[in-house]
Structure 1
Amino acid sequence: MIHKNNYLDFAICLEKFFSDYLIKERGASNHTIRSYRDTFILLIDYLSKEKSIKPYNICFSQIGKECVLEFLDWLECKRDCTPGTRNQRCAALRSFFRYIMYLDPTHMSQWKEICKIRLKRYVKGSLAYVSVEALKCLLDYVPVDTRKGRRDLAMLTLMYQTGARVQEIIDLTPASIRLSKPFTVELLGKGSKKRIVPIDGNSMELVSCYIKENNLDDCAKRVFPLFFNCWGERLSAAGVAYILEKYYSMAKKEHEDLFPDKISPHVLRHSKAMHLLQSGVNLVYIRDILGHASIKTTEIYARADSKYKREALEKAYVDVCNVHTECEWEKDDKLKQFLKSLA
């Protein structure tokens, strides 16, 4: 391994972190690898723009605790990242430098200082979701007279009906769809966990027509991307977000009172969970549909819905006060006469 200024080579260590540690040793999911990859792309971009350090000149001696803190602040201030995103990037960097401790213990104090950087505390916003009425309104703006519009409608409908994460929708193939009854979709979630989600006949009709229109029912195309761009390539997360934002902007312009200030593919997932909860579906089933590892994660929807909590309290209400303006014995004339005779 090449040494520079008594430090290990940054590029070689970064490559080993991904290929040896994340992929071979930990068996990290594609989602985790992409998230870590994006963190280091941003770090390299920061060092190049703000520190004038070209990618091929990056050295560990230039990356200390102060540099990492400045990078995290840059994410928030210059790139308008949320504190949650900042913490996600910070966690990825701490994981990398914990790995470097074993490769280069001679600079242990430097790596420990970086690993001791705390995650930023912040007030989490309320859970964003849209009503059934708003969702119908949004989908009404998707044109069905164009090939691309029919793709968008099938994709957004399927995303809502299954409560899928955006990456789960992107990873779908024609083989993931069961076109015969009972209609189901097989989703590949976090940690490479598969789950089967049932969908209704109307939604399946949209997806089925889309599959036939694009010849995706051909056996040779079973593993092709279900939703693809004009080059036949799998859609990106940014591409899906752009499609949703396009129709959201059109709908919000005319029905502003129906929609939140912002929308994202994850808002559709939250909306599905809230609508299931409001329909009386048990949290255990909602957990399984969303693919949560623990029901504690699913409980955020019960906590977010004040109407649901109020109705649950009203159903369970028991009048324990038993307060009356007039006592029962006072209504009984014979009883009152008897009591008076005792005096």
Structure 2
Amino acid sequence: MTAVAASGDDAALIERFLEMMAAEAGAARNTLVAYRRDLAGASCSLSGKLGCAQGPALAQLGEQWLPLARSSVARKASALRRFFAFLAEEGLRADDPSDALPRPGADRTLPRILDHADVDRLFAEIERRLGIQRSPANLRLSALVELLYGSGLRATELVSLPRNLVRQDHPYLILRGKGGRERLVPVSDRARAAVGEYAATLPKDGPWLFPSGKAHLSRVRLFQLLRTLAADAGINPERVSPHVLRHAFATHLLEGGADLRALQTMLGHADIATTQIYTHVDSRRLVDLVNQRHPLADVKTSTRVDAGRDGS
């Protein structure tokens, strides 16, 4: 029987794990919430015996997850693997039974994408509204969309921007994103102009760039604003979200010839593999890019063939 610390029931073990993830791994709040939910659910399914669970119990748990989407199963299994690795490293149990957890193939479908015409329609609708009235609400929407599409911010990063972070004399932001990692985010002249005009409507002493009541604008409200904008622009609202605009930012930059490593930095991805999945470009365009930009592109095929014959 695997030994588990006598004083550590599931609840206490989960708390210790989450404290480690916050302090040592720098996990973001949303990540910690997801870990807590998945671990508490697994503990409930195992009658409070997750900490001392053996392979057969975990295999049975995996069977309970079969009706779920592969992405959900992968997330739950990943949370449990990190949890059991923590218990083993801390000496709270003598083994790591996580090999019994399912390993579903990653569901790596590409995010929905807006083409250039769709984006043009969104901005045309914003201009139409501003032409009618340059109200604080319309100016706020303009600033939100400019930053989403022009800088590729995550929804949480956007709505929680400090009041004075976007400055007219600084064409970039330094943001702390997932895992506490800092990154440099470029801000276009258009975006800075839109933010400047909107910010002039705000109280001077507020802490948030996008205030709402006593806090900042919520992600849910941002989502609703974009859906309404899409509908008014003649675009199916189901196709538009903050994440879709972030993906459009990445894809359109890559289509324009942006370097993948630079894009990784701007998006705040720890692993470039994430950027490669997140940004997709027509394969024919990539072939053309190699043919046009590679150092050997100017070397005549006939010259190489003749050289080969001479050496035969």
TM-score range, shorter chain: 0.7 to 0.9
CA 1:156–1:85: 2 relative to 1, 3 Å: farther
Which of 42, 60, 72 is 2:65 aligned to? 72
1:334 corresponds to: none
Contact 2:172/2:184, CA 8 A, preserved across alignment: yes
1:8 aligned to 2:8? yes
TM-score normalised by L of structure 2: 0.73
What amino acid sits opposite 1:277 in the alignment?
L
2:215 alignment counterpart? 233
Aligned equivalent of 2:84, options 97, 107, 128: 97
Match of 1:333 in 2: none
Q: Is the 8 A contact 1:171 1:188 kept in 2?
A: no
The reply on whether 1:22 has 2:21 as its aligned counterpart is yes
Return the letter of the residue paired with 2:152. G
Structure 1 residue 152, shift from structure 2 partner = 2.7
**CA distance in 2 between partners of 1:241 and 1:115 (Å):** 39
Number of the residue aligned with 1:291: 268
User: Which residues of structure 2 form unaligned runs of 5+?
Assistant: 304-312
Q: Is the alpha carbon distance of 1:38 and 1:197 closer, same or farther for their aligned partners in structure 2, counting shifts above 3 Å?
A: closer
Matches of 2:232 and 2:283, distance apart in 1: 29
Q: CA RMSD in A?
A: 3.6
- In structure 1, what is the Cα distance between the partners aligned to 2:50 and 2:276? 43
Aligned residues with identical type, % of pairs: 22
Matched, 1:311 2:307: no
- Mapped partners of 1:161, 1:149: distance in 2: 18
Where does residue 141 of structure 2 map in the other structure? Answer: 152
Aligned to 1:184: 172
SS at match of 1:245: helix
Whether the 8 Å contact between 2:172 and 2:186 is mirrored in structure 1 is: yes
| Aligned counterparts of 2:192 and 2:51: Cα–Cα separation in 1 | 56
Q: In 2, distance between residues paired with 1:18 and 1:133?
A: 45
How much does 1:40 deviate?
Answer: 2.8
* Structure having the higher Rg: 1
Corresponding residue number in structure 2 for 1:244: 226
Tell me how far apart the structure 1 counterparts of residues 107 and 77 of structure 2 sit (CA, whole Å).
18
Q: Which residues in structure 2 correspond to 1:1-343 (within 5 Å)?
A: 8-19=8-19, 21-24=20-23, 26-30=24-28, 33-41=29-37, 44=40, 58-60=48-50, 64-66=57-59, 68-70=61-63, 72-73=65-66, 76=68, 82-101=69-88, 102=90, 104-105=92-93, 112-122=96-106, 124-126=108-110, 128-142=112-126, 143-144=129-130, 145=133, 146-180=135-169, 182-215=170-203, 218=204, 220-221=205-206, 224-229=207-212, 231-251=213-233, 254-255=234-235, 262-293=239-270, 295=272, 297-300=274-277, 304-313=281-290, 315=292, 316=297, 320=301
Aligned partner letter, 1:157 = E
- Using a 3 Å threshold, how does the CA distance of structure 1 residues 184 and 192 change in structure 2: closer, same or farther? same
- Cα 1:39–1:67 change in 2 (3 A) is farther
Assess, with a 3 A threshold, how the Cα gap between structure 1 residues 175 and 27 changes in structure 2: closer, same or farther: farther
Contact 2:70/2:106, CA 8 A, preserved across alignment:
yes
Deviation of 1:162 after TM superposition, in Å, equals 0.8
| 2-structure distance, mates of 1:71, 1:203 | 48
Evaluate the alpha carbon distance shift between residue 207 and residue 306 of structure 1 in structure 2; reply closer, same or farther with a 3 A threshold: same
Find the aligned partners of 2:52 and 2:228 in 1 and give their Cα distance.
42
Amino acid at match of 2:58: K
Deviations 1:181-236 (A, max 9, x none): x4322322233232333323222121112212122xx3x43xx232233x232344
The Cα shift of 1:173 comes to 0.9
Check the 8 A contact 1:187/1:194 in 2, yes or no: yes
Contact 2:140 2:210 in 1 (8 A): yes
Post-superposition Cα deviations, 1:142-197, rounded to whole Å, max 9, x if no partner, equal 544454343233112101111122232233212321222x4322322233232333
**1:65–1:7 CA distance, 2 compared to 1 (3 A):** farther
Opposite residue 208 of structure 1, the aligned amino acid is G
d(CA) in 2 for partners of 1:42, 1:293 = 23
SS at match of 1:129: coil
Distance 1:41 1:297, change over 3 A: closer
**Residues 283, 46 of structure 1: alpha-carbon distance in 2 compared, 3 angstrom cutoff:** closer
Shift of 1:91: 0.9
Structure 1 residues 44 and 287: alpha-carbon distance in aligned structure 2, compared to 1, 3 A threshold: closer
Unmatched tracts of structure 1, length 5 or more: 77-81, 323-343
